[in-house]
Amino acid sequence: MIYTNGRDFHLQNDRISYIFRLLPNGQPGHVYFGARLPQRDDWSYAQPLGEYPNTVMQPDNWSYEWVKHEYPTDGSGDFMEPAFVIEQPDGSRVSDFRFVAHTVTAGKPKLAGLPATYTETDDEAETLTLELCDELARNRLYLSYTIFRDHPAIARSARFVREGEGAATLRRAYSATLDLADSDYELLTLSGAWSRERHIHRRPLVEGVQGVYSARGASSAAHNPFMAFLRPNTDETHGEAIGMSLVYSGNFDAKCDVGTLGITRAHIGIGERGFAWRLEQGESFQTPEAVLVWSEDGLGGMSRAFHSLYGRRLARGVWRDRARPVLINNWEGTYFDFNEQSIVEIAASAAELGVELFVLDDGWFGHRDSDNSSLGDWYTYEKKLPDGIGALAEKVRATGVKFGLWFEPEMVSPDSDLFTAHPDWAIHVPGRHRTEGRNQYVLDFSRREVVDYIFDLMDKVIADTRLDYVKWDMNRNITEAFSLELPPERQGEVLHRYILGVYDLYERLTSKYPEVLFESCASGGGRFDPGLLYYAPQGWASDDTDAVERLKIQYGTSIVYPQSSMGAHVSASPNHQTGRLTHIDTRASVAYFGAFGYELDPRKFTQEERETVKEQIAYYKARRELFQFGDFYRISSPFESNVTAWASVSRDKSRALVGVWQVLSQPNPRLTRVCLAGLDPSKRYDYGFGVASGAELMRVGVSLREIALKIRRWGDFLGTVLELNEVE
Ligand code: DGJ
């Protein structure tokens, strides 16, 4: 519901309220974001302008400082971080956007060319658009707010329109600012590196600017485009949590500024570093979407709100709600060393085990025997596959599995036909050294002809092979960002235009091939973000397939992203990333909580392992809806404990699958009980060793020793899944 009298604006659903009101000068001032409040007409009492020192509240003679803003401007009295900066044609950087009008519409309009949350029917959400104008500069600003009926979430974005003569340049254009009334919060971010993606980092706020960013041309493994503000006592189940997530895959800033009087100003949007967008008369700029979630049920409540919104109203297409196939990927099984015979053997061997989809990874095209050639040459490597990729697809299908292929569409190898023909298509600054990453360059996806060319090649392969699945990889970041197509004054647009090109190719391929399942990837989880979730309902969470490392990666990823979005595979032991030896049951127990598969050579299994894997696949298939789409409850954190536990619970709470892992073995260990979460306290559950009520299982818990005895193994890296079923 959106209430407004043209001065006060209250967006409200069953759980939350988001309120702002016009300041005396016509700029929107923030009032409140939190638990649902009853409507009142006049919110002036909650915006007591006189409470701030040195604040003169006369419409045209006042100070902006210490007032909470919706979308703060720079250079006229508010000295904290602004939401945007426009360099006007005269070189000045001051703006003054004042309210002109507003509209309220049912549903949620699309953002042209950009991924965004959506509605399926108009009654699922309402959208408020605020129109503001800077009369002197003749710029217009539209601030958009959507409130969802069924989610404690607000989606926001901004659009700038240049109406005056001469060009203005946007030097910063964030998607949303949120001014919090105090700074008694801790900042949580998901940070890491290749193979250690999305680890949880939590620290108290201090005065000044703090946060995370990417300047790599991709959202990156270093930081996810997300941050949360938690009260110091907020835990998994209790306390306030505010999440801010950016639906974007390129450079971003997610940061906050704690001011002198303790206001916390949070911003999320396109990364400012290197960004400059020129607006000629009549041109406009649309920011990506930011999603703000509020929860008083702790971090777990916030995560489940993101999961349901992102799982059902950001991910799209036929695969959004469909159980995902059990796949086998040959990457860790063969790397580049395969031929038609070995691939068909692997597929046949996997099919016998119950695998449903075979994915041929890197090395099937051009003359690619290692990572130093052929990217861009998306046609069969005939030395390996003499009958062509189409024939291979048929032979693989004949074994009883579907067929998927790996591409790295945005890249070109210096040693490739494509680079020989079009060296100018690789991003570079003329005359300067071109930095290579993994022996490759990045194609200039800001150019339409480049995207068209790659579309045509991929289109042909997908049609020839009648492909069922695409793994879209991206293995290096962008350096020497520059486009030969753009004039000097537009070079600050390259990285955003690049991402728009990526989205354009995804849009064209996913709409032409709606039945194809897309999985995003970027050296593992280097671009695992909400932007790509819109096109690809699952992403390869990390190149690190070690079960123990995966506990942290999947636990951290679950802060924002649902289980169905996380590609998770069983690989060989010793693990290729860590050298760690783990039992195959432990490896499977972690990978079950995602889009499950195997990444190894099944021909190397012993007969006993084959039986085990057959059982694993049958077990997973019988429960995969619950593993992939259940409500997720984190129980014990791998960042804080030797014991990790989490649960996927059915919506009616009649069933649950609880993963429990003990990383290191301990002699004569302390008695440990794992208190479950997310159950119905009044229901009774068979949990495998007996029957207990939900209240008992959540308060008294299950004995870790009992679990270990059930597994009948000991040593390091133990893990299992408990299955809970309601009994009368
Ligand atoms: C990086 C990916 O993350 C891997 O899964 C694999 O596809 C390789 N690239 C192939 O080069």
- For the stretch 28-62, pLDDT in tens is 999 999 999 999 999 988 876 655 554 545 555 55
pLDDT of residue 261: 83
The model's confidence at residue 24, banded by pLDDT at 50, 70 and 90, is: confident
Residue 120 has pLDDT above 90, yes or no: yes
Mean pLDDT of all residues in the chain? 96
Alpha helices (H) along 282-339: 298-313, 331-334
pLDDT in tens, 210-244: 999 999 999 999 999 999 999 999 999 999 999 99
Q: Measuring CA to CA, which residue among 161, 154, 160, 198 is closest to residue 177?
A: 154
* Pairing state between β 595-599 and 684-686: unpaired
Closest residue to atom 10 of ligand 1, CA basis = 362
The model's confidence at residue 670, banded by pLDDT at 50, 70 and 90, is: confident
pLDDT of residue 58: 52
| Catalytic residue ranges | 473, 543
Mean pLDDT of 11-19: 98
Closest residue to atom 6 of ligand 1, CA basis = 331
Closest residue to atom 1 of ligand 1, CA basis = 523
Residue 471 CA: which ligand 1 atom is closest? 7
The Cα 139–Cα 161 span in angstroms is: 6
Distance in Å, CA 373 to ligand 1 centroid: 15
pLDDT of residue 49: 64
Residue 522 CA: which ligand 1 atom is closest? 3
pLDDT of residue 369: 98
Residue 685 has pLDDT above 60, yes or no: yes
Residue 523 CA: which ligand 1 atom is closest? 3
**Residue 267: both structure tokens together:** 């911003």
Mean pLDDT of 75-93: 93
pLDDT in tens, 283-327: 999 999 999 999 999 999 999 999 999 999 999 999 999 999 999
Burial class (CB in 10 A: 0-12, 13-18, 19+), 536: buried
pLDDT of residue 52: 54
The Cα 717–Cα 708 span in angstroms is: 11
In this structure, the residues whose C-beta lies within 6 A of any atom of ligand 1 are 331, 361-362, 406, 473, 475, 521, 523-524, 540, 543
Strand extents, DSSP E, 283-427: 284-286, 289-295, 327-329, 357-360, 402-407, 411-412
Residue 331 CA: which ligand 1 atom is closest? 6
Pocket test for ligand 1, best of 331, 337, 477 (most atoms within 8 A of CB): 331
pLDDT of residue 277: 98
Distance in Å, CA 524 to ligand 1 centroid: 7
Mean pLDDT of 173-198: 98
Mean pLDDT of 686-694: 95
Distance in Å, CA 331 to ligand 1 centroid: 7
Pocket test for ligand 1, best of 327, 477, 521, 569 (most atoms within 8 A of CB): 521
pLDDT of residue 646: 98
Pocket test for ligand 1, best of 473, 542, 545 (most atoms within 8 A of CB): 473
DSSP for 455-495, written as a single string: HHHHHHHHHHHT-SEEEE-------S---TTS-GGGGGGHH
Beta-bridge mates of residue 203: 187
Q: Measuring CA to CA, which residue among 410, 480, 412, 424 is closest to residue 216?
A: 480
Q: What is the DSSP letter of 46?
A: G
Residue 406 CA: which ligand 1 atom is closest? 7
pLDDT of residue 137: 98
Residue 574 has pLDDT above 80, yes or no: yes
pLDDT of residue 522: 98
Distance in Å, CA 539 to ligand 1 centroid: 12
Percent with pLDDT over 70 in the chain: 98
Residue 708 has pLDDT above 70, yes or no: yes
SS3 at position 98? strand
Percent with pLDDT over 90 in the chain: 93
**Residue 629: both structure tokens together:** 């789409």
Mean pLDDT of 174-181: 97
Q: Measuring CA to CA, which residue among 406, 403, 404, 395 is closest to residue 345?
A: 395
Distance in Å, CA 363 to ligand 1 centroid: 10
Distance in Å, CA 213 to ligand 1 centroid: 24
The model's confidence at residue 207, banded by pLDDT at 50, 70 and 90, is: very high
Distance linking the first and last C-alpha atoms of the chain: 41
Distance in Å, CA 523 to ligand 1 centroid: 6
Pocket test for ligand 1, best of 220, 336, 543, 545 (most atoms within 8 A of CB): 543
DSSP for 628-671, written as a single string: HHSEEEEEE-TTT-SEEEEEEE-TTSSEEEEEEEE-S--SSPPP
The Cα 653–Cα 699 span in angstroms is: 17
Distance in Å, CA 474 to ligand 1 centroid: 8
Residue 526 CA: which ligand 1 atom is closest? 3
Distance in Å, CA 628 to ligand 1 centroid: 23
Residue 158 has pLDDT above 80, yes or no: yes
Closest residue to atom 2 of ligand 1, CA basis = 523
Residue 543 CA: which ligand 1 atom is closest? 3
Q: Measuring CA to CA, which residue among 412, 490, 398 is closest to residue 453?
A: 412
Mean pLDDT of 589-612: 98
